[in-house]
Amino acid sequence: MTTNPSPQLWLYDTTLRDGTQREGLSVSIEDKLRIAKRLDQLGIPFIEGGWPGANPKDVQFFWQLQEDPLKQAEVVAFCSTRRPNTTAASEPMLQAILAAGTRWVTVFGKSWDLHVTTGLKTTLDENLAMIRDTIESLCAQGRRVIYDAEHWFDGYKQNQDYALQTLEAAIAAGAEWLVLCDTNGGTLPHEVSQIVQAVNNHLSLVICQELMTNDKGQRTIPQIGIHTHNDSDMAVANALAAVMSGAKMVQGTINGYGERCGNANLCSLIPNLQLKLGYSCIGEDELAQLTEASHFVSEVVNLAPDEHAPFVGRSAFAHKGGIHVSAVERNPLTYEHIEPEQVGNRRRIVISEQSGLSNVLAKARTFGIELDQHQPEARQILQRMKDLESEGYQFEAAEASFALLMYEALGERQQFFEIKGFQVHCDLIEGKQTSSALATIKVAVNGQNILEAAEGNGPVAALDAALRKALLNFYPQIAAFELTDYKVRILNGHTGTAAKTRALVESGNGHQRWTTVGVSTNILEASYQAVVEGLEYGLLLHSQTEPVFISTQKSKAENTRISE
């Protein structure tokens, strides 16, 4: 029995051009090259690299890709139609486009008569000539053209006849794709469906009346694409509506980056198109890289990943309520619309005061701990967690601290070191905006007392440095640990300076990251708890793969006492 192949849909990524227009986002040439190669690995067929000639960075980007081409993707240069009352042959901009050496070029032109008369300050007929002349000139130079109909939906609604004339001009000139752009992002899905269907019907009549031919005499029938913006939070929905109405190309960006509210998010579009609607976009193996690719791009552009993003967010398959967790443990379909692994994500069980015993059992398994619901320790862990959360702890954001809590309840928590006491002294120098802190700490390791001191630009930094200094001779692996994030939240601000504080510390070792929590009315004590548990959990991870090294060398300060 044979099955019909999935219908082909062409993906067009514009992260490197439209995406970089996002406020606060900036990339170097090296960043652009790294992203382009990652998108190439993801199997994206078209990657828009930028506008050659608009800035030196884009010129160099295309030059470097000529020296080191991508494996499978078509790199696309982007430009506008020529200026009014000139010719394409005399347009310097188009010379830079040709020099970029790409086989495909995307040309955008005006669809809305308002933009023609107000923005370009020219006539409607001249705008049609600009579209034809630019596309014809590029085709004559052997380039294949994608025509982006800017402000298409607004233009169509205001002056349907003229908007259609712009597409007809692009067809007559040799464009192979006609991409309908919702540039202002204000169109709704039902409007997109109606207009795309109407355009398809109109173009079918036009193409039947005057079929185009290329140099080989073969017929070329342009296809429809869609390019949506997210100003009404409809970019993904509008793109899906267009595809279901006949569009064959979808333009978007990784993580939805783009000007104003962003572009259609390919990280949501790809799985919806492929897993829900049955289109062929990228391979299954590439689809399983989607989460990693999303996080890779966010790291390169130096923006924090959206943890609640659909499909690829850390919380996309996180389960917190006890009833949810119990059901998911029996059958994931109860609360998951796809398998997380299909997009390279994973299921997470979240621990909080809303958790039931199912959460504890499931979370324990993620740490390699097998608990039985009838074990008294399981109930003790659940109750201890709820008691601590009522005091202000937050274990859903500090899973490493919860792991230590479980080990302690089971009597299996390793004591790598014991804090005997610490002092922190801060100096505020009058007339200077800087301050310094000195921390002194006393630690016991394997029966030895160690006294160390260290400076930092603040009390927590000084405390962390002193603790590491005291432990480094005993646990050399600590040198690879780093504090990657530190957050403080006031829990009951109405009590003023006596308020309870929650400190969250994220640590890492270059391969893994983990978060720990501390709570106290003393901000230093809360921070100290989180810092200490961060080091302890890092040592625990290391001990599970390699024996923990403990030096037998005694400290010179073994018998020194400091105040608690």
Amino acid at 459: P
Length of the chain: 564
Tens digit of each residue's pLDDT (9 = 90 or more) over 185-209: 999 999 999 999 999 999 988 776 6
Q: Parallel, antiparallel, or unpaired: how do β-strands 513-520 and 348-349 relate?
A: unpaired
Integer Cα distance of 361 and 379 in angstroms:
10
Instruction: Report whether 322 contacts 357 (CB < 8 A).
Output: yes
Which pTM value belongs to this model? 0.75
Which fold does the domain 10-282 belong to in CATH? TIM Barrel (3.20.20)
Q: Where are the domains of the chain?
A: 10-282, 418-543
Q: What is the pLDDT of residue 4?
A: 59
Q: What is the pLDDT of residue 162?
A: 98
Same fold: 10-282 with 418-543: no
Half-sphere exposure of 480 (CA within 13 A, CB side): 12
Q: In this structure, what token pair is assigned to residue 492? A: 């009951």
Quick one: average pLDDT of 451-477? 91
Q: What is the pLDDT of residue 292?
A: 95
Q: What is the pLDDT of residue 548?
A: 41
Q: What is the pLDDT of residue 97?
A: 96
Residue whose tokens read 């310094």: 436
Integer Cα distance of 564 and 561 in angstroms:
9
pLDDT at 550 over 50: no
Integer Cα distance of 483 and 537 in angstroms:
13
Fill in the DSSP letter of residue 231. Answer: T
- Please enumerate in sequence order all residues whose Cβ is within 8 A of that of 220, keeping only pairs 6 or more positions apart, or say none: 174, 176, 212, 213, 214
Q: What is the pLDDT of residue 209?
A: 67
Q: Which of 147-151, 276-280, 433-437, 507-511 has the lowest mean pLDDT?
A: 433-437
Residue whose tokens read 């403080």: 488
**In the CATH scheme, what is the homologous superfamily, with its name and number, of domain 418-543?**
Alpha-isopropylmalate synthase LeuA, regulatory domain (3.30.160.270)
Quick one: average pLDDT of 415-424? 90
Tens digit of each residue's pLDDT (9 = 90 or more) over 282-303: 999 999 999 999 999 998 998 8
The values of phi and psi at residue 205, to 5°, are: -70, -45
Q: In this structure, what token pair is assigned to residue 412? A: 């299996």
Closest listed residue to residue 334, CA positions, set 320, 350, 323, 343: 323
Tens digit of each residue's pLDDT (9 = 90 or more) over 140-187: 999 999 999 999 999 999 999 999 999 999 999 999 999 999 999 999
Instruction: Report whether 418 contacts 448 (CB < 8 A).
Output: no
Q: What band does 556 get if pLDDT is binned at 50, 70 and 90?
A: very low
Amino acid at 452: E
Integer Cα distance of 506 and 482 in angstroms:
9
Tens digit of each residue's pLDDT (9 = 90 or more) over 2-51: 455 678 999 999 999 999 999 999 999 999 999 999 999 999 999 999 99
pLDDT at 112 over 70: yes
pLDDT at 255 over 70: yes
